[in-house]
Amino acid sequence: MRQPSNTPQSVALGSPGRSRSAEPSYRVIVEHMNEGAVTLTCDGRVVYCNARFADLCRTTVLQLANAPIRGFFAPTDWPAFDDLLRRAESQGGTLEVQLVADNGSIVPVLLSANALPEGDGGAFCMVVTDLGQHRRQHEELGVAERMARSILEQASEAIVVCDEDGRIIRASHAAHHLCGQSALWKLFDDVFHLRRGGSAPLLREPPPDEEDRFLLSPLLGSGRPLRTEVHFRRDDGKHFALLLSVGPMHELRGDVRGCVVTMADISERRRAEEELWRLTDSLEHRVSERTAELAAINRELEAFSYSVSHDLRAPLRAIEGFGRSLQEDCGDDLGEPGKSHLARMRAATRLMRDLIDDLLRLAQVTSGRLVRERVDLSALARTIAAALALAEPERTVRVAIADGLTAGGDLGLLRVALENLLGNAWKFTAQRPLAEVELGEMLTTEGKVFYVRDNGAGFDMKEADRLFAPFQRLHAPGEFSGTGVGLATVQRIIHRHGGRIWAEAAPRRGATFFFTL
C-alpha cells in the first residue's frame, strides 16, 4: 500500500500524460456530479472532495480536508472498507456501507474505489452514491407504477397500452370485457380492422374485400395522436363499431416508446345515426310528395280563383243590373212587399260580391310571393285612417298613431293587414259618440309587439278561438257589416311573416289586437 502524503492537495483529474489545461473542465464536471467524489491518501485521508460528498456527510469541504474517511463509517464497516482499498490497488471494487453523517444521521451509500496513477495528487479516487435516494426514487417509481396499474384496472373506460412494436402489453378490465380475453395480448394490428368509409351508415360486418388493416406502426413512427372509427370482430362473433383515441407515449429523450389507446363502443350511436338517416330519407320523400300535392292544390286554387273572378262575377253583375233596372222601371208597380223583396235581393247580391272579393284576397294572401322590405307602418296607418275618415266624414274618431313604427315585411300584405285591423276598429266603434282608435308598439320578452286598440263593442273572450276562422262573426249580422273573412286574412298575413296574432277584449269595453312580425 502507498505511503500517505504529508500535505493534502487537490487531485488533478487525469493521468500524468494529460494536459494540465484540461483540469478546470474536469473539475467543473466533478463539482456538478450528483454523486460524491473523493480523492484519498493511501491511509484513507481526504485529499479532495466535491460539494456533493460534503453534503452527504452534513459538513463542509474545508472541514473534510485531511480528515480520515473511516470516521464517517460505522466501525463494523472498517474492515470491509480496508479490504476495498486493497482491492482498488489492482482492479477497483465496490462496497455498500452506512455513512454516518456529522449530525448523526445514517445514509446508505455505495462506494466505488479505484487507484490513481502516480502524481495525480492521491492514492485512490472514490465515487459515493446515495443508495437512499436511489431507493426512494425506485420506491416512488414503484408507487407510480402501482397507482397507474390500479387506475388502469379500475377505469370504466376500455384502455389498452401498446409497446413500440404495437403489441398490447396492458389492458383495463373494461377492455377485457369489451374485446374479450383472447383478442388482447396480441399485436394491435391483428385485433382491429379499419372499415372502409368509416362514416358509412350501415353497421354490419363487412365482407373481407371491404376491410383494411388498422396499422398502428405509422402512428408510432409519426408520434402524432389519432382519433378514428374502426370495425371490431370479437371471437364470439359479435361485431361493433369502436371510436379509438390513440396517443403516443414518449420517453425522456422524446422517442416514441408505445401508445395508449382508449376505446368507446359507438355501435348504439351509429345505429341511431342510421335510423336518423333512414327517417331523413323517408321524410324527404314524404316532403317531396307533399310538395307535389300542394302544387296541385295551388293550381286548383288558381283555377278556382279564375273561375270565381270571371264565371261567378258575370251572373252577379247580371242579377244586380236587372234588379236595378227593375227598381227604376217598375218600382212604383211592385208595391211595398215587392220593393222590400227587391231591396233584399240586391243587398244579398252585393254581399255575395263582397264575399267573392274577400275570398280572392284571402287566396292571394296565401299564394303570392313574399317580398320583404323596410315598411313604415306609421305612414301606412295614417294613409288608411285618412281614407276611413273621408268615407265617413260625419263621425268623430280620435286616431292615435305612434311615430317611428317600422317593420320588415311585404308592403302590400302589411297594407292589407292594417286595412283590416284599422277598418275593424273603425267599424266596431260606430256606436260610440267619441270613438278612439290607436296603433302603437311595446317591448316584451318576444321582442317588438304591435297593437291596434279601440274602445268599441268588444267581444266575449270565450269566443276568441273563433276570431280568425273564415266566415265566423261574433256579432249579429244586422249589428255590424262584414263577411267574417277580414281577420282570417290578417292571421294568414302575420303567419307568412313568421309572427303571431292574438286579441284581448271585453263586451262593450273595446278590443286590442296584438301582433308580431
* Widest distance between CA atoms in the chain: 166
pLDDT at 88: 87
Best CA proximity match to 481, nearest among 430, 436, 435: 430
pLDDT at 367: 64
pLDDT tens digit sequence for 133-178? 777 767 766 666 666 666 666 666 788 887 777 677 777 878 877 7
Which of 3.30.1490.150, 3.30.360.10, 2.40.110.10, 3.30.450.20 is the CATH number of 20-136?
3.30.450.20
pLDDT tens digit sequence for 224-234? 677 777 777 77
Please enumerate, as own/partner, the contacts of 88-92 that have beta carbons within 8 Å and a separation of 24 or more.
88/113, 88/114, 88/115, 88/124, 89/1, 89/115, 90/115
The domains spanning 155-265 and 373-515 adopt the same CATH topology: no
**How many angstroms separate the CA atoms of 495 and 8, rounded?**
105
Mention every residue, 6+ apart, whose C-beta is less than 8 A from residue 108: 96, 97, 98, 99, 130, 131, 132, 135
pLDDT at 305: 65
pLDDT at 477: 61
**How many angstroms separate the CA atoms of 100 and 81, rounded?**
14
pLDDT at 4: 39
Best CA proximity match to 459, nearest among 418, 388, 509, 424: 509
pLDDT bin (cut points 50, 70, 90) of residue 207 is very low
What is the H or E stretch that residue 111 is in?
strand 106-115
Phi (first) and psi of residue 256, to 5 degrees: -75, 125
pLDDT bin (cut points 50, 70, 90) of residue 426 is very high
Is there a contact between 166 and 184 (Cβ–Cβ < 8 Å)? no
pLDDT bin (cut points 50, 70, 90) of residue 349 is confident
**How many angstroms separate the CA atoms of 374 and 353, rounded?**
34
Note the pTM of the prediction, 2 decimals. 0.42
Rounded mean pLDDT, 430-459? 93
Range 373-515 has CATH code 3.40.50.1370 = no
Positive or negative: CA dihedral 314, 315, 321, 324: negative
Give the dihedral of Cα atoms 378, 379, 384, 389; nearest 10 deg.
90
Beta partners for residue 264, in sequence order: 243
Is there a contact between 396 and 434 (Cβ–Cβ < 8 Å)? yes
Range 155-265 has CATH code 3.10.20.740 = no
Q: How far is CA 258 from CA 64, 166, 227, 423, in A?
A: 48, 7, 16, 81
**How many angstroms separate the CA atoms of 192 and 244, rounded?**
10
Beta partners for residue 159, in sequence order: 262
Neighbours of 433 (CB within 10 A): 7
**How many angstroms separate the CA atoms of 133 and 131, rounded?**
5
- In the chain, where are the structural domains located? 20-136, 155-265, 373-515
Beta partners for residue 97, in sequence order: 109
Higher pLDDT, residue 193 or 479: 479
Running DSSP on this structure, what letter comes out for residue 221? H
**How many angstroms separate the CA atoms of 178 and 172, rounded?**
10
Phi (first) and psi of residue 40, to 5 degrees: -120, 155
pLDDT at 122: 65
Beta partners for residue 170, in sequence order: 161
**How many angstroms separate the CA atoms of 384 and 415, rounded?**
8
Highest mean pLDDT among 197-211, 330-344, 482-496, 502-516: 502-516
**How many angstroms separate the CA atoms of 133 and 107, rounded?**
9
Give the full edge-to-edge strand order of the sheet including 36-40.
Answer: 46-49, 36-40, 124-130, 106-115, 93-100
pLDDT tens digit sequence for 1-15? 333 333 333 333 333
Place of cell 391483428: 190
Least confident of 20-24, 197-201, 344-348, 439-443: 197-201
Average pLDDT, the chain: 78
